[in-house]
Chains A and B, each alone.
Chain A
Amino acid sequence: MLFYHKFNKINAILLPSIVLLLFWLPLILWLTKTLLGGHVEIPETFPILELLERTFNISIAIAIMSVLAAYPIAIMWRLCSRGLKWGFALTLMIPLAVGFLARNYSWIGMLSGNTFWSSMGWYIFRSERLLYSEISLYLVMTAIFIPIAFFIIIQGIKSVRSEQIYAARILGLADWKILFFVVIPMTLRAAVISLGFIFIMSTGYFVTPRMIGAGKYDFVGNAILIFLNLGRFDSASTISLIFLVSLIVPVSLIAYYTIKRRQQLMGR
């Protein structure tokens, strides 16, 4: 019995141990070397603050836009019939299945199209002027994150129950009030978590700024990659470290909020 108990504990710490070994070990080794290794190597004229500012500003804007775009779909998903539910979920699963890089290529192809058919309709919005512009960066990254935001929000929206809606109706609340004072507050936590996740994910992106922004609106990730390709690992490391430090506060807040929400939901 004692053996059984110990065996359970060993297996229960298997996942954290593997994460410790495969995730924390490289991070700790790298951090130790970068922090204690001696010289910091970034060219004096390198605009690190400007890059960080741009990365954070664009990322927060994209996170907000993705959540705002996905929120109504998630609400409709909750309120529609089972068949439509599947329809919504499958439709938004397709972009995730076709791949991230391919979708970036697809946007370049569409925005380069000079006919209605070859641009999938973007031609009417003067797509050639959109390509490689800041607007296209916002547009493409938002489009990429909409399905992710949707799938996170629907996890929280399941908590909206018919009894609550009926109760609000019986109490005489107008439908728009039910939406804004019942449905949205109940799903706000999921939306905030989705906002946080998307913000963190987009700060680390380098593919879309490179492909769609054509290098004019690079993120911190692009700078890290450029230094790495030039063989200047120390510079790439230093920029990564500054990036990591700048993320500590938002990451801690989002992690705390997510864990708290889980405790409230699951009671542990």
Chain B
Amino acid sequence: MIFTPSSDSAEAGGNNIIINIPILRIIFWLIIASSIILAVIPSLYLFVWAFWGSETVGVLNHTPSMQWFHDMLTNSEWNKSLLYSCTLGFFVSILSTILLIVHFYHMRYVNYQFDRIAYLNIIILVMIPQIIYAISLRFMGGMLAIHETALVIIGHIIYIIPLQFFIFESAQETIPDETLFAGSTLGASHIRNICFNYIPVIKTTIGVAILIGFLFSFDEVVISTFVIDSSNVTVPRRLWDQIHRSMIPYPAVTSSLLIGFLLLCGILVSFKRLIIKSNK
């Protein structure tokens, strides 16, 4: 047996499809294994590179060290970029999350044509390559004399809105219309209904949306490359600028810090759940 049977897998149709035919099974598992290895192995290498990395490309040291973490975190230029990217990521992510909360809440109260218009807009955002949007944003910045930080914020909001939109959309089933309408009927204003009725039900989705928004904004490179001209650059832009200059493992250090941050978030959430469970 390849899978351990479970009620969930039984519900999904049992675990016997594919598996009963040996050749198909082997081919499937080969494709799955190679695809996962292909997708994940670069991420694993980044951790190895962060601790064992040397200044020479492709050469690893014999012993692990925290040298590159120390170098990066004590470098004022990198610190500035890290701070800029983190601030930008959180600001943009929270802003677009608030926008989407308001949007999805009000979609319950209006004609579905509004929903169609919004969805069409979101699809077009995804469909137009970012590079074309970036060049138009740069053009508008020059034409209307908009500060580059404002342009970066605008670009990042447009970049992460579709991602967060799909996260929010998949969570709309968790709160029925009746719950919200009951709040309104009992006299709650929209703001109170959002704060005390809507948000508590979808708070996990909000957390995920903020986190995903932050990660994608932190990693955004196209808008930053096209729009930023000053020395105040984001982390991906700094990494992009150093392509031809060095192979110091700063990209690996940045990734390790991000994963560390995610682990910390995971631990905090688990800890909170444990406390709530023990209080019950």
Contact = CB atoms under 8 A, between A and B. Distances in A.
Contacts of B46: 98, 102-103, 105-106
A112 B161 CA distance: 37
A146 B39 contact: yes
Contact of A237 (B21, B130, B139): B139
Question: Which of B49, B135, B239, B259 has the most chain A CB within a 10 Å cutoff?
Answer: B135
Main secondary structure of the interface of A (DSSP, over half): helix
B175 interface: no
B46 to A, nearest CB: 5
B140 interface: yes
A94 B13 contact: no
A69 B9 contact: no
B129 to A, nearest CB: 3
A247 B128 CA distance: 8
A204 B31 contact: no
A57 interface: no
A49 interface: no
Interface of A: 7-9, 11-16, 18-20, 22-23, 25-27, 29-31, 33, 68-70, 72-73, 75-76, 78-85, 91-92, 94-103, 105-115, 117-121, 139, 142-143, 146-147, 155, 160-162, 164-166, 175-176, 178-179, 183, 197, 200-201, 203-204, 206-207, 210-211, 220-221, 224-225, 228, 233, 236-237, 240, 243-244, 247, 251, 254-255, 258-259, 262, 268
Nearest to A145: B39
B41 A120 contact: yes
A110 B32 CA distance: 21
Interface stretch (B71-79, B196-204, B248-256, B267-275): B248-256
A69 B240 contact: no
Q: Which 3 pairs, one residue from A and one from B, show the smallest C-beta to C-beta distance?
A: A204-B129, A112-B58, A165-B13
Contacts of B112: 268
A110 B41 contact: yes
Given A29-B136, A73-B32, A97-B259, 14 more contacts: A8-B106, A11-B105, A26-B136, A26-B139, A29-B143, A75-B18, A79-B15, A85-B8, A91-B36, A100-B219, A120-B41, A165-B13, A221-B131, A225-B225
Contacts of B36: 73, 91-92
Contact of A23 (B110, B125, B139): B125
Interface string B237-280: 00110010001010110110011001000000000000000000
A94 B109 contact: no
Contact of B140 (A25, A72, A96): A25
B116 interface: yes
B260 to A, nearest CB: 11
A178 B43 CA distance: 35
B110 A162 contact: no
A70 B39 CA distance: 10
Given A27-B128, A81-B4, A255-B127, A72 B28 contact: yes
B240 A101 contact: yes
Contacts of A31: 136
18 contacts: A26-B137, A29-B136, A72-B32, A79-B12, A81-B8, A82-B8, A101-B236, A110-B45, A113-B60, A115-B60, A120-B44, A142-B38, A143-B39, A160-B13, A224-B135, A251-B128, A259-B116, A259-B120
Interface string B107-138: 10110101111111111111111111101111
A72 B126 contact: no
A88 B155 CA distance: 32
Nearest to A112: B58
Contacts, number: 305
A158 B215 CA distance: 26
Given A82-B8, A99-B254, A237-B135, A119 B58 contact: yes
A137 to B, nearest CB: 14
Given A80-B3, A97-B259, A120-B44, A162 B10 contact: yes
A130 B170 CA distance: 41
B209 interface: no
B57 interface: yes
Contacts of B42: 95, 98, 103, 106-107, 110, 143
A80 B9 contact: yes
Question: Which of B31, B226, B259 has the most chain A CB within a 10 Å cutoff?
Answer: B31
B171 interface: no
B157 A206 contact: no
B57 A176 contact: no
Contacts of B262: 97
B14 to A, nearest CB: 7
